[in-house]
């Protein structure tokens, strides 16, 4: 089934109005970014007609592009006003990366699976995002080279909060991360105030595991 560009635009508007606004996504910048980024470009061809469905979708390599609402909730929780440098762990399809790139000055995104990183890099480049760097590696170590970060987002479920990410968070910065078991996590927002880290629970969620030295073991 062929879907035309205008149809996608209208599906995108519907997604914002029927999935995000009724669930209390209030930040106008988040709603605006999600209303602009063409999610269909980040989804494998065979799922393209489902790009705006209210659910995650497979992107290959046993990984997923997150549900639009979860992308919006995590983005809003970062409290971006436009001047920030953001670190994302788990590039996946690159969709969340594009939403962040619409809202911040610079985005560094790390993906452990090189085929996904390459594909995301190509789509982001094709769409004209010049303020994004996609790196391949273990994001649980963060990226000391570009630290400190005003905001850090982890889009995979972690058994705990990686120490490197806390260390690389700027004073006043926000770290949004799902923490829990392999099968279920709580979405945490952690604010840094000097050497204090204040945690808020934003609710339950289910993510693929964060695999790495400060995450889960691969098995
Ligand atoms: N935000 C993505 C999107 O919009 O498509 C979805 C991310 S997907 C739910 C989680 C991603 O985290 C997967 O692509 C997975 O390979 C990646 N990942 C898992 N552990 C990682 C690690 N230690 N470092 C970097 N990426 C990791």
2 contacts: CB under 8 Å, gap ≥ 6: none
- Say which DSSP state 30 is in: H
What average pLDDT score do residues 71-90 get? 98
Q: In 45-195, which ranges are E strands? A: 57-60, 63-65, 85-89, 106-111, 132-136, 149-154, 169-180, 185-193
Q: Residue whose CA is closest, atom 17 of ligand 1?
A: 90
* 1, pLDDT greater than 60: no
pLDDT value for 2? 61
What is the 90 CA–ligand 1 centroid distance (Å)? 3
Report how far ligand 1's centroid is from the alpha carbon of 66 (Å): 10
Of these residues, 66, 109, 158, 164, which one is catalytic?
Answer: 66
Ligand 1 pocket member 140 (CB < 6 A): yes
The response to whether residue 68 sits with its C-beta less than 6 Å from ligand 1 reads: no
What percent of the chain stands above pLDDT 70? 99
Q: Which atom of ligand 1 lies at the shortest distance from residue 96's CA?
A: 4
Chain-centre distance for alpha carbon 20:
16
Q: What pLDDT sits at residue 6?
A: 76
Domain 56-205 has CATH 3.40.50.620: no
Region 158-172: mean pLDDT is 98
**Closest ligand 1 atom number to CA of residue 99:** 4
156 lines ligand 1 (CB under 6 A): yes
Once rounded to an integer, what is the mean pLDDT over residues 168-178?
Answer: 98
Q: Does the annotation count 66 as an active-site position?
A: yes
Nearest by Cα to 188 from 174, 202, 171, 198:
202
**What average pLDDT does range 127-143 have in this prediction?**
98
């Amino acid at each position: 089934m062929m879907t035309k560009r205008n149809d996608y635009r209208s599906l995108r508007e519907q997604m914002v109005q029927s999935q995000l606004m009724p669930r209390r996504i209030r930040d106008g910048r988040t709603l605006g970014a999600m209303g602009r980024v063409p999610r269909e470009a980040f989804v494998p061809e065979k799922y393209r007609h489902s790009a705006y469905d209210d659910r995650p979708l497979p992107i290959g390599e046993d990984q997923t592009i997150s549900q639009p609402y979860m992308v919006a909730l995590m983005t809003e929780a970062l409290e971006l006003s436009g001047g920030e440098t953001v670190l994302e762990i788990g590039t996946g399809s690159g969709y969340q990366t594009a939403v962040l790139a619409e809202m911040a000055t610079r985005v560094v995104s790390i993906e452990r699976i090189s085929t996904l990183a390459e594909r995301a890099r190509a789509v982001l480049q094709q769409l004209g995002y010049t303020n994004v760097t996609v790196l391949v590696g273990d994001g649980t170590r963060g990226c000391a080279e570009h630290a400190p970060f005003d905001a850090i987002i982890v889009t995979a479920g972690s058994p705990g909060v990686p120490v490197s990410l806390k260390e690389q968070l700027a004073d006043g910065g926000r770290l949004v991360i799902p923490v829990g078991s392999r099968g279920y996590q709580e979405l945490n927002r952690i604010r840094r105030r000097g050497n204090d880290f204040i945690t808020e629970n934003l609710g339950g969620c289910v993510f693929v595991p964060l695999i790495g030295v400060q995450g889960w073991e691969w098995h």
